[in-house]
Chain A
Amino acid sequence: EAGVVQSPRYKIIEKKQPVAFWCNPISGHNTLYWYLQNLGQGPELLIRYENEEAVDDSQLPKDRFSAERLKGVDSTLKIQPAELGDSAVYLCASSYLAGGGYNEQFFGPGTRLTVL
């Protein structure tokens, strides 16, 4: 079974330019997460989707970041405009949440963004 797929793996852009990341979760997983991972730190949640609904976007900087998960499968995370401080690894994860279940998450390889 294929794991979580992310693209691109690497992206280098100039500051103030837009950038988008794409994620395809594990088939059948109803929950999708976008995390930000700075160098030497643990992942920090940006947004969590249950099916098509964004149920936790409290940590998403909404002035420049946006995300969507149309049809409850693939997801796209966008930054516009990018700033130097956005350089980081952007991780996508997915899980299957059922009533009373716990939260085993499967991570993709991440997209390493460098803003110059």
Chain B
Amino acid sequence: GENVEQHPSTLSVQEGDSAVIKCTYSDSASNYFPWYKQELGKGPQLIIDIRSNVGEKKDQRIAVTLNKTAKHFSLHITETQPEDSAVYFCAAVTGGFKTIFGAGTRLFVKA
């Protein structure tokens, strides 16, 4: 069945450094790739997304890249801040609007 693998499961960086989270997906019909940030006690919140016809998208300190051939997509956060500390989830959405989430990456940004 459809599957999304996410790495690493935990990531610790120093404030100001960059953080990279990587995901791979199995269903070649996936055409939309959102990234969510989840803080303690809250639901996931969309932070950036990319469609299958785009290779890269940037929004201030956050960027996402997509390699459809390899079925890889990645989240890049530059100049990390303590408030970036949270759990981040990648997801892949098929043409049937079914969303498969990765297992999450817990990001710690040390001040």
Contact = CB atoms under 8 A, between A and B. Distances in A.
Interface of A: 4, 31, 33, 40-45, 48, 56, 91, 93, 97, 102-110
Which of A45, A56, A103 lies at the interface centre, i.e. has the most chain B CB atoms within 10 A of its CB? A103
A4 B103 contact: no
Interface in B52-110: 89, 91, 93, 96-99, 101-104
B99 A107 contact: no
Interface in B26-62: 31-32, 34, 36, 41-46, 49, 51
A69 B43 CA distance: 21
Nearest to A91: B43
Interface of B: 4, 6, 31-32, 34, 36, 41-46, 49, 51, 89, 91, 93, 96-99, 101-104
Given A102-B93, A103-B32, A103-B99, A108 B104 contact: no
A103 B36 CA distance: 13
Which residue, A4, A42, A43, A48, has most C-beta atoms of chain B within 10 A? Answer: A42
- Taking chain A's interface residues, is the majority helix, strand, or loop, or is none over half, making it mixed? loop
